[in-house]
Amino acid sequence: MRAASLVLALWLGGFGLASAEEETVDPSRLPAGDLSLLECDYRLIGVTDGRSDPGAGALPAVSMTFPEAAATVAHRLEAARWSSASGAPGVQVQIKRLYVQSLWAQRLGVAVYQVKIDGHPPFLVRAQPGKIGANYDAESAHERLGAAMTEANETLVGFLNQQCHAKTAAR
Amino acid sequence: MIAGLSRPTRNPGEHMDILRTGLVAGLVLAHAGAWARNDPLPLPVAETLAVEVYFDQPELAVFLPRERVAMATSDGLLPTLLVMGLESKAERKGASEIAPVRDRLIDYGFKEAFAPVLRARLASPGLSPSPQLTWSRSTIVSKTEASQMPQQAMVLLPYFAMDRNFEQLFVRLDAQLVDRTVLPNGALKVEERISRRYEFAFLLPADMEASPANWAALGAGKLAALLEQAGSQVMDMLAYDFSAQGRAQWDARIRGTDTVLDDEQFDGREERRGEHWVWVRTENDGVAGVRGYQRMTPEMITALGTGSRSAGTLP
């Protein structure tokens, strides 16, 4: 019966229409993710929240809000060991999207950042890791949001390290 | 059948029984309500019609046809899961492939653009001269809120999306007229009186490959302009469909009819036509409603203007 309800809800094709619970993201429940270390000096100027509202998507059993998204992303990025030298290029991160979504048999976490490095035009970093499974509760939503942030953070640090290598090669 | 659930949340300090508003349950209820199914629908529907909009879509969606899964459910759990797995893979692929178009729209707010159009077009002779509009992100309501909800309401669910083959960029508006009763235990009983789907789709020029790259190449301003036009069209459809003229078409035969626009054939009976666009009524049964199409031309794309620029993708 639960499966039938899920099918019906999914057939309707909505985002969060079958939600039965509202929950605020608890940063302490997000899975810790590994993050590479920066290989040259970059200074994290800050992380801002560029979303129009704190909504963080929904799975069939839960609708999420994430008001502390900016502070959480900033905290997780700190693990890359940013420079505090005033001469290091500054990096600004703005969260554009951060949400969970259910597909037919998968849960998708999505994180999109707009990144601005001193002297360069802004660009987007998008991560949307999916996971097959039948759990659609708050725990799953936390897990997917954490995975999306981890992947986006790693993509950003990976890009910055590529710039480090490019700088070294140019010398 | 009872639409409400009685599940406490994990929110501390408040025991809030969670109820569904009936957007889902309304499809399976058959009990007579205040808008009795066999009574003619008043014109307008109500002098002061409560209109509730529910919108919680973070980005442009990829919609897959649901028919394969719906058919598989009648064959049992295993075929259902098998088809769901295949569809999930396709949807995952779609979510990945559509990323360039989503990135173009990263600074676009569908709700912010659509809300004024909706507000302006909602007051109409067939619906209500004085609609009472509310927006919500979530369909979850507490028992207290449920007891204060209007007994009769029009529920609107807007979406902005593309199809799985990236041939169409469209706005969809699902509309339901519902009756609600709060039962003695606080649960919400919801009966659907009418359910309609309105969509307006843009297609790329015939000589242009239907690919996310080509849609993304239109740029943020043109994509936003198309979505704005599509949103305006679906609101016109809603107002028209509940007018006396529209209601006269609800039971007219559709099956087997099609409509030709600029040498292109679309399923459904022609309902209205303009310059390079057409509306067709698509179903008498199932998901009844009106669908509109416009295939763009290079001249039309040029005329859309450029609009604002958004950030590029990862260099």
Chains A–B, number of C-beta pairs less than 8 Å apart: 144
pLDDT tens profile B63-88: 876 666 666 667 778 877 777 777 77
pLDDT band at B17 (very low <50, low <70, confident <90, very high): very low
Domain annotation covers residue B202: yes
Query: What sign results for the dihedral spanned by CA atoms B204, B208, B214, B218?
Result: negative
Please check whether residues B226 and B141 belong to one and the same domain: yes
Q: Is A20–B61 a contact, with Cβ atoms under 8 angstroms apart?
A: no
Domain annotation covers residue B9: no
User: What pLDDT score was predicted for residue B80?
Assistant: 78
pTM for this one? 0.84
Of B97, B112, B147, the one marking the end of a domain is B97
Please check whether residues B208 and B89 belong to one and the same domain: no
User: What pLDDT score was predicted for residue B120?
Assistant: 93
Least confident of A30-39, A150-159, B141-150, B289-298: B141-150
B23, HSE (Cβ side, Cα atoms, 13 Å):
29
Q: Is A124–B315 a contact, with Cβ atoms under 8 angstroms apart?
A: no
Separation of alpha carbons A16 and A144, rounded Å:
15
CB B72 within 8 A of CB A10: no
Please check whether residues B209 and B223 belong to one and the same domain: yes
Q: Residue B21 above 60 pLDDT?
A: no
Q: Is B63–A13 a contact, with Cβ atoms under 8 angstroms apart?
A: yes
Q: Which of B87, B95, B314 is closest, CB to CB, to A108?
A: B95
Please check whether residues B52 and B41 belong to one and the same domain: yes
User: What pLDDT score was predicted for residue B306?
Assistant: 63
Single-letter residue type at B202: F
The token duo for B74 is 């009648």
Please check whether residues B88 and B143 belong to one and the same domain: no
Distance from CA of B312 to the nearest CA of A (A): 5
Phi, psi (deg, nearest 5) at residue B14: -145, 125
Q: Which of B27, B95, B314 is closest, CB to CB, to A124?
A: B314
Q: Residue A19 above 70 pLDDT?
A: no
Of B81, B97, B113, the one marking the end of a domain is B97
When divided into structural domains, chain B yields a total of 2
Please check whether residues B113 and B226 belong to one and the same domain: yes
Q: Which of B80, B92, B312 is closest, CB to CB, to A7?
A: B80
Comparison of pLDDT for A29 and B283, the residue scoring more: A29
Of B52, B70, B97, the one marking the end of a domain is B97
| Structural domain for B198, as ranges | 37-60+98-303
- Please state the ipTM of this predicted complex: 0.85
Concatenated DSSP letters of chain A: -HHHHHHHHHHTT-SSTT---EEE--GGGSPP---PPPSS--EEEEEEE--SSSEEEEETTEEEE-TTHHHHHHHHHGGG-----TTSPEEEEEEEEEEEEE-SSEEEEEEEEEEEETTS--EEEEE--EEE-S--SHHHHHHHHHHHHHHHHHHHHHHHHHHHHHHHHH-
User: What pLDDT score was predicted for residue B140?
Assistant: 67
User: What pLDDT score was predicted for residue A92?
Assistant: 98
Domain annotation covers residue B15: no
Domain annotation covers residue B225: yes
Single-letter residue type at A151: E
Please check whether residues B85 and B130 belong to one and the same domain: no
Distance from CA of A40 to the nearest CA of B (A): 19
The token duo for B80 is 């259902």
3-state secondary structure of B143: helix
* Cross-strand pairs, B279: B272, B292
Phi, psi (deg, nearest 5) at residue A61: -105, 0
pLDDT tens profile B121-159: 999 999 999 999 999 887 766 677 777 889 999 999 999
Nearest Cα to B164, choosing from B226, B98, B110? B98
Domain annotation covers residue B268: yes
User: What pLDDT score was predicted for residue A5?
Assistant: 34
Count of Cβ atoms closer than 10 Å to residue B10 Cβ:
11
Domain annotation covers residue B10: no
* Residues in chain A within 8 Å Cβ distance of B15: none
Average pLDDT, chain B: 82
Comparison of pLDDT for B22 and B38, the residue scoring more: B38
Please check whether residues B77 and B115 belong to one and the same domain: no
CB B268 within 8 A of CB B252: no
Q: Give all domains of chain A, ordered by start, each with its CATH number.
A: 2-170 (3.40.50)
The token duo for B59 is 């980005």
* Residues in chain B within 8 Å Cβ distance of A97: 58-59, 106
pLDDT tens profile A91-115: 999 999 999 998 777 889 999 999 9
* Residues in chain A within 8 Å Cβ distance of B58: 15, 55, 57, 97, 99, 101, 110
The token duo for A101 is 């979504």
